[in-house]
């Protein structure tokens, strides 16, 4: 396939998905007048699915691909889910037992931001948990299925090209979480960027990445609420 086609798929698909992500937050806040808190996050997650999946489908279609072609399949889902869940639990344990307490704790930029978004009620935890699972599906198809796959095709099949594609995917994922400050950028770059991309390369499917991503978001939400 011509590189120009991969480039078009990358830019159009990413652009449409980012527009869908913006709209998923703007619709509840601007059109419905809802504050971005508590169960509003569940509505945001639902809208991300409704708006984001068609946007991603357009991008993939430009590359001649379907969702199944980038790993959204049910094959070996039990094993992949176990791997993904284990990765999330181990990372959460290291983060909340060792890293976060020794790098600022409640004063860390990402903890401050996420604690404020979750709020002080269980409804905030519930809303965030729904967003964790609905929004993650779109994010994984975007970053692993579209962005990484397109970059890998654009740069070729060498080991150096693979490394460059991984690095750019890490940077894209980390930049997308810039609102969490430098602590959030570094942590999301290492986990959501590097670790989950390597997990995708290893498994060749999205299931482990989706479960690892959603479980981490859920565990982080619960831990931040009860610990900070």
Residues 175 and 152: their CA atoms lie apart, in Å, by 19
Can you give the pLDDT of all 228 residues of the chain as single tens digits? 678 889 999 999 999 999 999 999 999 999 888 888 888 999 999 999 999 999 999 999 999 999 999 999 999 999 999 999 999 999 999 999 999 999 999 999 999 999 988 888 888 899 888 988 898 999 999 999 999 999 999 988 788 889 999 999 999 999 888 888 888 888 888 888 899 999 999 999 999 999 999 999 999 999 999 998
Query: What is the reported pTM?
Result: 0.93
Residues 173 and 14: their CA atoms lie apart, in Å, by 12
The token pair at 31 is 């059109």
Closest CA to 212 of 227, 225, 226, 200: 200
Cβ atoms 77, 208 nearer than 8 A: no
> What is the CB neighbour count within 10 angstroms for residue 182?
12
Helices (DSSP H) in 27-158: which residue ranges?
40-62, 77-94, 109-118, 122-140, 149-155
Please give the C-alpha separations between residue 202 and each of 170, 189, 199, in angstroms, as whole numbers: 16, 18, 5
Q: Which residue has the tokens 């990372």?
A: 91
The dihedral formed by the CA atoms of 172, 176, 181 and 183, expressed in degrees to the nearest 10: -50
How many Å from the N-terminal Cα to the C-terminal Cα in the chain?
50
């Amino acid at each position: 396939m011509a590189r120009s086609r991969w480039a078009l798929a990358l830019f159009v698909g990413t652009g449409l998905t980012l527009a869908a992500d913006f709209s998923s937050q703007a619709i509840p806040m601007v059109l419905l007048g809802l504050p971005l808190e508590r169960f509003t996050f569940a509505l945001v997650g639902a809208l991300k699915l409704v708006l984001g999946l068609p946007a991603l489908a357009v991008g993939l279609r430009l590359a001649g691909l379907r969702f199944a072609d980038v790993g959204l399949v049910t094959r070996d889902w039990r094993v992949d889910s176990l791997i993904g869940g284990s990765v999330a639990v181990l990372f959460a344990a290291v983060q909340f037992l060792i890293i976060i307490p020794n790098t600022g704790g409640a004063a860390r930029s990402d903890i401050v931001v996420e604690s404020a978004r979750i709020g002080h009620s269980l409804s905030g935890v519930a809303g965030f948990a729904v967003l964790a699972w609905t929004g993650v599906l779109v994010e994984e198809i975007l970053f692993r299925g579209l962005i990484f796959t397109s970059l890998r095709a654009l740069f070729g099949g060498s080991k150096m090209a693979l490394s460059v594609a991984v690095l750019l995917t890490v940077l894209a994922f980390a930049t997308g979480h810039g609102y969490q400050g430098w602590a959030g950028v570094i942590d999301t770059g290492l986990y959501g960027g590097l670790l989950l991309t390597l997990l995708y390369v290893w498994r060749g499917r999205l299931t482990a990445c989706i479960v690892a991503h959603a479980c981490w978001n859920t565990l982080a939400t619960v831990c931040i609420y009860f610990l900070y």
